[in-house]
Amino acid sequence: MAGIKKLRFIQLGQETTGANGTEVDADILWMGAGTIEDNRELVWPEENVGYLSGTTRVYTPKVEALLHMDEIEATFEQFPHLLEASIEHEAATKDGSGSGYIYEYNPGTTAQTEVATYTIEGGDDHQEEQFTYGFVTEWTLSGVAGEAVMMSAEWVGREVAAGTKTAGVLATQPEVILFSMGKLYIDGTATTHGTTQVVNQWLEFELNCTSGFMPVYTGDGQKYFSFTKGVGAEFELTLTLEHDTAATDEKGNWRNHVTRMIRLDFTGSTLTTTGTVYDNKRLIIDLTGRWSDWDTLDDQDGNDIITGTFMARYDSVADHFADITVVNELSALP
Q: Which residues contact 282 (CB under 8 A, 6 or more apart)?
A: 76, 265, 266, 267, 268, 325, 326, 327
- Return the SS3 of 202: strand
Confidence at residue 334, expressed as pLDDT on a 0 to 100 scale: 76
Question: Read out DSSP for 212-277?
Answer: -EEEE--SSS-SS--EEEE---EEEEEEEEESSHHHHHHHHHHHTT--EEEEEEEEEEEPSS--SS
**pTM of the full predicted structure?**
0.95
How does pLDDT run along the chain (334 residues), one tens digit per residue?
A: 788 999 999 999 999 999 999 999 999 999 999 999 999 999 999 999 999 999 999 999 999 999 999 999 999 999 999 999 999 999 999 999 999 999 999 999 999 999 999 999 999 989 999 999 999 999 999 999 999 999 999 999 999 999 999 999 999 999 999 999 999 999 999 999 999 999 999 999 999 999 999 999 999 999 999 999 999 999 999 999 999 999 999 999 999 999 999 999 999 999 999 999 999 999 999 999 999 999 999 998 889 999 999 999 999 999 999 999 999 999 998 7
Confidence at residue 252, expressed as pLDDT on a 0 to 100 scale: 96
Taking phi first (over 0 means left), then psi (-120 to 50 degrees means alpha), and beta for anything else, what does residue 119 get? beta
Q: Which residues contact 110 (CB under 8 A, 6 or more apart)?
A: none
The burial class, CB within 10 Å (0-12 / 13-18 / 19+), for 233 is buried
The CA distance from 38 to 44, in Å, is 18
Cα(first)–Cα(last) distance of the chain, in Å?
A: 32
Confidence at residue 3, expressed as pLDDT on a 0 to 100 scale: 83
CB 158 within 8 A of CB 133: yes
Q: Phi and psi (nearest 5°) for 324?
A: -130, 130
